[in-house]
Amino acid sequence: NREQIEAIIPHRVPMLLIDEVRDVIWGKSGVGIIGDVGKFSFLEGHFPGYPVMPGALLVEALAEVGVVVVLGLPENRGKIAMLTGLDNWKFRRPALPGRAVLLEGNITNLRSNYGKGHGRALSGDDLLGEGDLSFALVPRPQRL
Protein backbone atom coordinates (compact mmCIF):
# COMPACT_ATOMS: atom_id res chain seq x y z
CA ASN A 1 0.00 0.00 0.00
CA ARG A 2 0.99 3.67 -0.17
CA GLU A 3 2.38 3.76 3.38
CA GLN A 4 4.62 0.76 2.73
CA ILE A 5 5.78 2.25 -0.57
CA GLU A 6 6.70 5.52 1.17
CA ALA A 7 8.74 3.56 3.73
CA ILE A 8 10.92 2.24 0.87
CA ILE A 9 11.18 5.07 -1.66
CA PRO A 10 11.48 8.84 -1.12
CA HIS A 11 8.82 9.81 -3.70
CA ARG A 12 5.88 11.83 -2.41
CA VAL A 13 2.77 13.40 -3.93
CA PRO A 14 2.58 14.84 -6.52
CA MET A 15 5.37 12.61 -7.90
CA LEU A 16 4.38 9.38 -6.20
CA LEU A 17 2.20 7.99 -8.97
CA ILE A 18 1.66 4.37 -7.95
CA ASP A 19 -1.04 3.34 -5.48
CA GLU A 20 0.21 -0.13 -4.62
CA VAL A 21 2.81 -2.73 -5.51
CA ARG A 22 2.10 -6.45 -5.29
CA ASP A 23 3.63 -9.76 -6.33
CA VAL A 24 7.07 -8.45 -5.38
CA ILE A 25 10.09 -10.68 -5.75
CA TRP A 26 12.75 -8.45 -4.17
CA GLY A 27 15.49 -7.56 -6.63
CA LYS A 28 13.62 -9.27 -9.49
CA SER A 29 10.08 -8.07 -10.23
CA GLY A 30 6.85 -6.47 -9.06
CA VAL A 31 3.47 -5.31 -10.28
CA GLY A 32 2.30 -1.79 -9.55
CA ILE A 33 -1.16 -0.31 -9.84
CA ILE A 34 -2.53 3.12 -10.57
CA GLY A 35 -6.16 2.76 -9.52
CA ASP A 36 -7.50 5.50 -11.79
CA VAL A 37 -5.50 7.74 -14.07
CA GLY A 38 -8.25 10.36 -13.61
CA LYS A 39 -6.98 11.21 -10.11
CA PHE A 40 -4.08 13.27 -11.49
CA SER A 41 -4.68 17.03 -11.67
CA PHE A 42 -2.18 17.46 -14.53
CA LEU A 43 -4.74 15.86 -16.85
CA GLU A 44 -6.65 19.17 -16.88
CA GLY A 45 -3.96 20.56 -19.16
CA HIS A 46 -2.95 17.37 -21.01
CA PHE A 47 -5.14 17.69 -23.04
CA PRO A 48 -8.18 19.93 -22.38
CA GLY A 49 -11.20 18.01 -23.60
CA TYR A 50 -9.20 14.79 -24.10
CA PRO A 51 -7.25 14.01 -20.90
CA VAL A 52 -4.35 11.60 -21.41
CA MET A 53 -1.60 10.61 -18.98
CA PRO A 54 1.70 11.82 -20.48
CA GLY A 55 3.97 9.01 -21.69
CA ALA A 56 6.85 10.42 -19.65
CA LEU A 57 4.80 9.99 -16.48
CA LEU A 58 3.84 6.47 -17.49
CA VAL A 59 7.59 5.77 -17.65
CA GLU A 60 7.98 7.41 -14.22
CA ALA A 61 5.28 5.17 -12.74
CA LEU A 62 7.01 2.08 -14.14
CA ALA A 63 10.31 3.31 -12.75
CA GLU A 64 8.69 3.69 -9.31
CA VAL A 65 7.70 0.02 -9.38
CA GLY A 66 11.31 -0.92 -10.17
CA VAL A 67 12.55 1.36 -7.41
CA VAL A 68 10.36 -0.42 -4.85
CA VAL A 69 11.63 -3.81 -6.09
CA VAL A 70 15.30 -2.77 -5.83
CA LEU A 71 15.28 -0.50 -2.77
CA GLY A 72 13.31 -3.09 -0.84
CA LEU A 73 16.47 -5.19 -0.68
CA PRO A 74 18.18 -4.75 2.71
CA GLU A 75 21.50 -3.78 1.10
CA ASN A 76 19.83 -0.91 -0.77
CA ARG A 77 17.93 0.68 2.11
CA GLY A 78 18.84 4.33 2.50
CA LYS A 79 19.63 4.79 -1.19
CA ILE A 80 17.76 6.41 -4.05
CA ALA A 81 17.54 5.27 -7.66
CA MET A 82 18.23 7.74 -10.46
CA LEU A 83 17.24 7.04 -14.07
CA THR A 84 20.30 6.92 -16.31
CA GLY A 85 18.76 5.79 -19.58
CA LEU A 86 15.67 4.82 -21.53
CA ASP A 87 15.78 2.48 -24.51
CA ASN A 88 13.37 0.88 -26.95
CA TRP A 89 10.24 2.66 -25.71
CA LYS A 90 7.01 2.26 -27.63
CA PHE A 91 3.68 3.74 -26.66
CA ARG A 92 0.69 1.91 -28.10
CA ARG A 93 -2.44 3.31 -26.47
CA PRO A 94 -3.20 6.27 -24.18
CA ALA A 95 -3.72 5.93 -20.43
CA LEU A 96 -7.17 7.43 -19.89
CA PRO A 97 -9.20 8.62 -16.87
CA GLY A 98 -11.53 6.05 -15.37
CA ARG A 99 -9.11 3.23 -16.17
CA ALA A 100 -6.70 1.42 -13.90
CA VAL A 101 -3.15 0.85 -15.11
CA LEU A 102 -1.17 -2.29 -14.31
CA LEU A 103 2.59 -1.69 -14.26
CA GLU A 104 4.86 -4.72 -14.67
CA GLY A 105 8.47 -4.11 -13.67
CA ASN A 106 11.23 -6.67 -14.18
CA ILE A 107 14.84 -6.13 -13.19
CA THR A 108 17.03 -7.64 -15.91
CA ASN A 109 20.46 -6.77 -14.48
CA LEU A 110 21.48 -5.60 -11.02
CA ARG A 111 25.08 -5.09 -9.94
CA SER A 112 26.29 -3.09 -7.00
CA ASN A 113 25.05 0.45 -7.76
CA TYR A 114 23.77 -0.02 -11.32
CA GLY A 115 20.86 -1.84 -12.88
CA LYS A 116 18.57 -2.30 -15.84
CA GLY A 117 14.94 -3.25 -16.11
CA HIS A 118 12.04 -3.71 -18.46
CA GLY A 119 8.61 -2.23 -17.87
CA ARG A 120 5.18 -2.78 -19.39
CA ALA A 121 2.04 -0.74 -18.75
CA LEU A 122 -1.37 -2.29 -19.40
CA SER A 123 -4.96 -1.21 -19.02
CA GLY A 124 -7.33 -4.13 -19.27
CA ASP A 125 -6.16 -6.13 -22.28
CA ASP A 126 -4.50 -3.08 -23.88
CA LEU A 127 -0.72 -2.68 -23.90
CA LEU A 128 -0.16 1.04 -23.27
CA GLY A 129 3.60 1.06 -23.56
CA GLU A 130 6.81 -0.75 -22.77
CA GLY A 131 10.56 -0.30 -22.81
CA ASP A 132 13.87 -0.61 -21.00
CA LEU A 133 15.22 1.58 -18.20
CA SER A 134 18.66 1.84 -16.66
CA PHE A 135 19.38 3.33 -13.25
CA ALA A 136 22.07 4.09 -10.71
CA LEU A 137 21.74 3.61 -6.95
CA VAL A 138 23.19 6.49 -4.98
CA PRO A 139 23.29 7.38 -1.28
CA ARG A 140 20.19 9.22 -0.12
CA PRO A 141 20.97 12.85 0.74
CA GLN A 142 20.35 13.65 4.40
CA ARG A 143 17.64 16.17 3.50
CA LEU A 144 15.40 13.39 2.08
Amino acid at 58: L
Judging by DSSP bridges, how do beta strands 20-25 and 114-123 pair with one another?
Answer: unpaired
Q: Catalytic amino acids?
A: 46
- Residue 119 CA to residue 106 CA, distance in Å, equals 6
Judge whether 41 and 77 are in contact, CB under 8 Å.
Answer: no
SS3 74: helix
Sheet holding 114-123, edge to edge: 20-25, 29-34, 101-111, 114-123, 126-139, 79-91
